[in-house]
Amino acid sequence: MNYTTQMDAAKKGIITKEMELVSQKENMELNKLMELVAEGKVVIPANKNHKSLKAEGVGKGLKTKINVNLGISKDCCNVDAELEKVKTAMDMNAEAIMDLSCFGKTEEFRKKLVNMYSGMIGTVPMYDAVGFYDKELKDITEDELIGVIEKHAKDGVDFMTIHAGINRETAAVFKRNPRMMNFVSRGGSLLYAWMELNGKENPFYEYFDKVLDICEKYDVTISLGDACRPGAIADSTDPSQIKELMTLGELTKRAWEKNVQVMIEGPGHMALNEIKTNMELEKKLCYEAPFYVLGPIVTDIAPGYDHITSAIGGALAASTGADFLCYVTPAEHLRLPNLEDMKEGIIATKIAAHAADIAKGIKGARDWDNAMSRARRDLDWETMFKLAIDPEKARRYRKESIPENEHTCTMCGKMCAVRNMNKVMEGKNINVLRDDD
């Protein structure tokens, strides 16, 4: 039997090689996975032209995935530096990379990324439009904007952020309800500006069927972008955000009718006490489509530390419904991240994702923690280092402060609770002051 997309195959009862791989990775029964893909509750982003892909699943019952943003800008256009980030993200087992390049001719970098990276690859075609056509925003036509989507699809991109929910109705709600930060979505603000400058409807909304035809042809997963995501906690869960989310729910059903896979993008900046409700709203209004969130960043006061504010929000979001976390680095709100910023952002987001998987009861999530606890009980430092989420840092910290007794650390020395409990449990004496062990 033939099929067009992973969703189409699942509806027809066809098991694809991508489903088989995801089933193995997730330790999920294959027919159960196929059922969730058919229902739209799990997506397997897998562009037919991404030949190096080792598929991942995102959604209900699966491990929380993380995304790494990178790409060139006008002020930082070093392609080699961005490719080095790609290699590092691969080494750190990031499940997805989004190429957010927004300057010049980005095709060369995008094609290199598709060839070398085996995880999911995402883009935001709206970022590329000005450079692709070498035109000012106002002068780009509707057909040209749709054309960039097709170009990225041909190049092998697995998922694309399409800001189709910022239509004229949503824009009117925004105008009637002023915000502290207006729009902070780059793609959303560009589309809003295009609409205002041309007096027209958002082409991605008006010609959504054309977008779906492209995505069906290449099996591109649509990540319905949140142009109205809050960029300040003062703006969270406001009329603009909720209006757009309702529109995204309507577009989700239209996509599923054409067997196009869908993720929903979400906030943004948001106080802790609003996160759980927002996760439940998305699942309700968008029919349990996988939810992809940036953070949420839970306070606005920490530039330089927003990988932490984001990890706090991300852990809570993922434990209450989010399926996919976009990383945030210490450079958020300040500059393009460098390689070290990227590493810190990945580690913080992986911690948040894993903590959420424990809370959600994902099968096998606790095994890693239990192995680490056993190694700590046994004072098996080498195993602790191997199990650490960042082995290099753990080894470096240990090496920087060597204890008198090799089995302990310089915090407690021979007063180490683990050492002394082991001795007592074995019926041995505890010698804190003597030199002998």
**Cis before residue 403, ω within 30 degrees of 0?**
no
**What is the full per-residue pLDDT of the chain (437 aa) written as tens digits?**
699 999 999 999 999 999 999 999 999 999 999 999 999 999 999 999 999 999 999 999 999 999 999 987 777 778 888 999 999 999 999 999 999 988 766 888 899 999 999 999 999 999 999 888 989 999 999 999 999 999 999 999 999 999 999 999 999 999 999 999 999 999 999 999 999 999 999 999 999 999 999 999 999 999 999 999 999 999 999 999 999 999 999 999 999 999 999 999 999 999 999 999 999 999 999 999 999 999 999 999 999 999 999 999 999 999 999 999 999 999 999 999 999 999 999 999 999 999 999 999 999 999 999 999 999 999 999 999 999 999 999 999 999 999 988 889 999 998 999 999 999 999 999 888 876 66
Cα gap 152→323, rounded to integer Å: 24
Query: What tens digit of pLDDT does each residue of 245-302 get?
Result: 999 999 999 999 999 999 999 999 999 999 999 999 999 999 999 999 999 999 999 9
DSSP state, residue 137: G
CA distance 433 to 91: 45
**Of residues 226, 261, 312, the one with CA closest to residue 40:** 261
Query: How far, in Å, CA of 43 to CA of 41, rounded?
Result: 7
Q: What is the pLDDT of residue 430?
A: 87
| pLDDT at residue 437, as a whole number | 61
Mean pLDDT of the chain: 95
* Residue 122: strand pairing partners: 98, 159
Which one, of 267, 269, 227, lies nearest residue 244 by Cα?
227
Beta strands in 207-329 (DSSP E): 221-224, 262-266, 291-294, 324-326
DSSP string, 408-432: S-TTTGGG-HHHHHHHHHTT----S
Write out pLDDT tens, residues 104-159.
668 888 999 999 999 999 999 999 998 889 899 999 999 999 999 999 999 999 99
Question: Which helix (H) or strand (E) element contains residue 7?
Answer: helix 6-11
What does the block give as tokens for 36? 């969730």
Class of CATH domain 6-359: alpha beta
Q: What element of type H or E holds 198?
A: helix 186-198
pLDDT at position 171 = 98
Where do the structural domains in the chain lie, given as residue ranges?
6-359, 365-425
Contact (Cβ atoms closer than 8 angstroms) between residue 160 and residue 120: no
What is residue 295's predicted lDDT score, i.e. its pLDDT? 93
Binding site for Zn(2+), by residue number, is 269, 333
Query: What pLDDT shows up at residue 431?
Result: 84
Q: Which residues are annotated as a binding site for [4Fe-4S] cluster?
A: 409, 412, 416
Q: Enumerate the H helices of 40-78 as residue ranges.
A: none
In angstroms, how far apart are the furthest CA atoms of the chain? 84
Cα–Cα dist 413/419, whole Å: 9
Report how far Cα 5 is from the mean position of its chain's Cα atoms. Answer: 22
β-sheet bridge partners, residue 121:
97
Binding residues for substrate are: 69, 98, 127, 163, 185-187, 226-229, 265, 292
Q: State how far the Cα of 34 lies from the Cα of 379, in Å rounded to an integer.
A: 44
Q: What confidence score (pLDDT) does residue 80 get?
A: 86
* Residue entry with tokens 């209006």: 243
Residues annotated as binding site? Answer: 69, 98, 127, 163, 185-187, 226-229, 265, 269, 292, 333, 409, 412, 416
| Cα-to-chain-centroid distance, residue 411 | 36
Q: Residue 436: its pLDDT value, please?
A: 63
Predicted TM-score (pTM) above 0.85: yes
